[in-house]
Structure 1
Amino acid sequence: MKVVAPKSFTLEGGKRAVLLLHGFTGSTKDVKRLGEYLQKRGYTCHAPMYSGHGVAPEELLQTSPSDWWKDAVDGYFHLKNMGYDEIAVAGISLGGVFSLKVAEEFPVKAVVSMCAPIKRNSTNGLFERLFNYAKIYKSFEGKSKDIIIEELEELKNLPIDSLNGIQELTENTSVQLNSITSPTLVLQGALDDAIYQESATFIHDSVEVNDKDIIWYKESGHIITVGKEKDKVCEDVYEFLNQLDWSSDSILKYA
């Protein structure tokens, strides 16, 4: 059975723009609910689907973090090209790292970092994420148990240079956190792994802005945008964005 890959989406809802960024081995499904929630409340949201994601894991390994970062940047300029001058950015997991990097390199109205592993100091756990994704993907394809086992063994022998690239990108983003000047909201699941919890506090303490906050979700793990407290996450992001001083300059130029 052919698996239909998730795609990038744009939800037009109003004069305010938000770039939504998913995580490693994730997809735009991870931020779709948040995008729809914001759209109904007057925000236009765009979420790019990274190269190699939502497809066979073997294809993912043929891409690199530089490709995924380019997709994120292209998403930012997609909104710019639509006529939006003020853009907020929100990301989950690796998308949270990307959201911080976008805020470091481009003008953004605000940044929302969700469960971003900014304190990761090795590639430990990344291949396990890919391996688990591969098992689920191949199962959805309808392959037999024997074929899945065989292909998973072959996956272990493929080059994983792209995983090293994630570590380098994360470290480079980490050392520049104090350059972020936009209002910053950090969201973190209290049931997530320790590295993510440590990262949340580190991000909050490292950005040198007065308008910053951190919110913990007691019943949530890693992908909080689809977890038990997903509705509260949507509410908190909206409340944060809504208290910003959005300029009339954010009106669509073609409107």
Structure 2
Amino acid sequence: MKLVAPKSFTFKGGNRAVLLLHGFTGSTKDVKRLGEYLQKRGFTCHAPMYRGHGGTPEELLQTTPTQWWEDVVEGYNFLRNQGYEEIAVAGISLGGVFSLKVAEEFPVKAIVSMCAPIKRSNTDGLFDRLYNYAKVYKSFEGKSREVIIQELEALKNSPLDSLSDVQSFIEDACVDLPTISSPTLVLQGALDGDIYKESASFILEQVETDTKEIIWYEESGHIITTGKEKDKVCEDVYAFLNQLDWTESVRAVV
């Protein structure tokens, strides 16, 4: 069965813009609820779908972090070209790393970094995430157990250069954290892996801004935007963004 990949989305609200970024092996579904919540409260939200994501794991491995980053930059420029002068950026997992990188490279109103593995030191967890994604995806395709086992074994023997490139990208973003001066909100699930929890505290320490805070979600794991406390995540992101001194007034969507 051919599965339909999620697509980029734009939810138009008011003059305050938010760039929403999904994670590695994830999709725009991971940030859709947050986008809808913010739109209803007057924010315009755009979420780009990275190349290779949302399809087969084999297709994902044929793309590179450089291409995904290009998609992120294209998403930022999309909002700029639409006339939005103040853009906040919020990302989950690798999208959280991308959100920090956007702030290192471009003017942003604020950053919301969610469960970003900025302290990752190897690619082991990346392959585990890819492997688990492959198992679920191939099952949804309706393939037999025997075929799935064969294809997963082939996946183990595939070139994994893109995973090493992800690691290099994360390390570069980590080094430049002290260049960030925009207001920063760090969100982290308390049930997430140790590397993510360590990263959350590290990001808060490293960014050079007086407006920064961290919020922990005691009942949540990694993808907090779709987890048990997803509503609280939406509320906290909105509260953080809404208290900033925006040039344009907010306009709620009826």
The TM-score by the shorter chain falls in which range? over 0.9
- Where does residue 69 of structure 1 map in the other structure? 69
Following TM superposition, by how much is the alpha carbon of 1:250 offset from its aligned partner in structure 2, in angstroms?
Answer: 9.8
- Where does residue 19 of structure 2 map in the other structure? 19
Letter paired with 1:224 = I
> Residues 117-143 of structure 1, C-alpha deviation per residue, up to 9 Å, x if partnerless?
000011111111101101111111111
Tell me the secondary structure at the aligned position of residue 124 of structure 2: coil
8 Å contact kept, 2:15–2:249: no
Tell me the secondary structure at the aligned position of residue 182 of structure 2: coil
* Structure 1: gaps (5+ residues): none
Q: 1:249 to 1:36 in 2, by over 3 A?
A: closer
Per mean C-alpha deviation after superposition, the further-off stretch among 95-104 and 143-152 is 143-152
Distance 2:28 2:217 in 1: 22
Distance 1:56 1:23 in 2: 15
Following TM superposition, by how much is the alpha carbon of 1:248 offset from its aligned partner in structure 2, in angstroms?
Answer: 3.1
Following TM superposition, by how much is the alpha carbon of 1:71 offset from its aligned partner in structure 2, in angstroms?
Answer: 0.5
Q: 1:173 to 1:154 in 2, by over 3 A?
A: same
Give me the identity figure in percent: 74
Letter paired with 1:193 = G
- Where does residue 241 of structure 2 map in the other structure? 241
The Cα RMSD (Å) is: 1.2
- Where does residue 138 of structure 1 map in the other structure? 138
- Where does residue 164 of structure 2 map in the other structure? 164
Letter paired with 1:8 = S
Distance 1:205 1:140 in 2: 41
> Residues 28-64 of structure 1, C-alpha deviation per residue, up to 9 Å, x if partnerless?
0000000000000000000000000000100100001
Task: Give the TM-score normalised by structure 1.
Answer: 0.97
1:48 aligns with 2:48: yes
Tell me the secondary structure at the aligned position of residue 142 of structure 1: coil
1:121 aligns with 2:121: yes
Question: Between Structure 1 and Structure 2, how many residues are aligned?
Answer: 251
- Where does residue 192 of structure 1 map in the other structure? 192
Following TM superposition, by how much is the alpha carbon of 1:189 offset from its aligned partner in structure 2, in angstroms?
Answer: 0.3
- Where does residue 174 of structure 1 map in the other structure? 174
Tell me the secondary structure at the aligned position of residue 102 of structure 1: helix
- Where does residue 80 of structure 1 map in the other structure? 80
8 Å contact kept, 1:16–1:44: yes
Distance 1:176 1:125 in 2: 23
8 Å contact kept, 1:10–1:47: yes
8 Å contact kept, 2:97–2:118: yes
Following TM superposition, by how much is the alpha carbon of 1:156 offset from its aligned partner in structure 2, in angstroms?
Answer: 1.0
- Where does residue 222 of structure 2 map in the other structure? 222
8 Å contact kept, 1:10–1:45: yes
- Where does residue 32 of structure 1 map in the other structure? 32
Letter paired with 2:108 = V
Tell me the secondary structure at the aligned position of residue 125 of structure 1: helix
Letter paired with 1:220 = S
8 Å contact kept, 1:85–1:250: no
Following TM superposition, by how much is the alpha carbon of 1:249 offset from its aligned partner in structure 2, in angstroms?
Answer: 9.5
Distance 1:194 1:128 in 2: 15
Tell me the secondary structure at the aligned position of residue 85 of structure 1: coil
- Following superposition, which runs of at least 4 residues in structure 1 exceed 2 angstroms of deviation? 248-251
1:152 aligns with 2:152: yes
Q: 1:250 to 1:177 in 2, by over 3 A?
A: farther
